[in-house]
Amino acid sequence: MSKTSRIDVNCDMGESYGRWTLGDDRGMMPYLSSVNIATGYHAGDPPTIRQTVEAAVEHGLGIGAHVAFPDLMGFGRRRMVIPPRELQDYCLYQIGALQAFVTAAGGRLAHVKPHGALYVMASEDPEMAHAVAAATAAVDPSLPLMLLHRGCADAVAPTGVRLVAEAFPDLHYDRDGKLVIEKSKVAWDPQTVAGRAVRMATEGRVTTAEGTDIAVDAASLCIHGDAPNGVAVARAVHEALTGAGVDIVPLRTLLAA
């Protein structure tokens, strides 16, 4: 029996900066239901943000603020020690910036998702998760917050923000359910990723790097657009999910059901 017949498929994008281009954002969009757009702290600049937001609105995608540590040189992947109140300010600043671009493009901000080291740390540290959620609630408490799992749900609950877990079919997991982060995104076989995505959506399971099975509970699947074959992977995932009878819908639509 299927675990779910509906799921969100998201991708991090808008991560180009100045003359440096990362990923084929427009090529990915037809196969997604949501996007997480960089807000300038780990990547992205105002023209890139505007162009990515406008394209996402054109494609009818849910738009999320991809908030991060202020770490352009490290692409947001370096851990930082930041007081919770300051972290809340950093996130509020970034969410507000993206919201302005979304409003200008005639869209509506749909969710918040931390990036890189902030994502990992907020998924593990209740105090950090609360800081990100508090910033989200200050903008709009109806905005869901994406993290790896619901381990920090008790810390987030007082803010009124809904915590949503996601899964990653194009990354390895270890036996403890933690992600095995690649230094640079490698090209996975599209059919392998597609098969993992279907299994995550319909069975709530994934095979770890050690070869054992673990449970995953996710309302959204993340596909990486910075992989060398990101578009091919996204296309294969889209075809496999729809072929398995799983509808791909934006997160806000999914949660409203």
Per-residue pLDDT tens digits for 90-113: 999 999 999 999 999 999 999 999
For residues 202 and 246, is the Cβ–Cβ distance under 8 A? yes
Per-10-residue mean pLDDT of the chain, 257 residues long, equals 77 95 95 98 97 98 98 94 97 98 98 96 96 98 94 94 96 89 82 97 93 92 93 98 96 88
DSSP the chain: --S-SEEEEEEEE---BTTB--S-HHHHGGG-SEEEEE-SSSS--HHHHHHHHHHHHHTT-EEEEEE--S-TTTTT-S-----HHHHHHHHHHHHHHHHHHHHHTT--EEEEEE-HHHHHHHHH-HHHHHHHHHHHHHH-TTS-EEESSSTTHHHHGGGTPPEEEEE-TTSEE-TTS-EE--SS-----HHHHHHHHHHHHHHSEEE-TTS-EEE---SEEE--TTSTTHHHHHHHHHHHHHHTT-EE--HHHHHH-
The domains found in the chain, sorted by start residue, are: 6-256 (3.20.20.370)
| pLDDT at residue 26 in the model | 97
User: What pLDDT is attached to residue 4?
Assistant: 59
Per-residue pLDDT at 2 = 46
Q: pLDDT at position 3, please?
A: 59
Residues in CB range of 238: below 8 A, 6 or more apart: 9, 30, 31, 32, 248
Q: Would you state the pLDDT for residue 133? A: 98
CA distance 117 to 223: 18
* Mean pLDDT score across all residues of the chain: 94
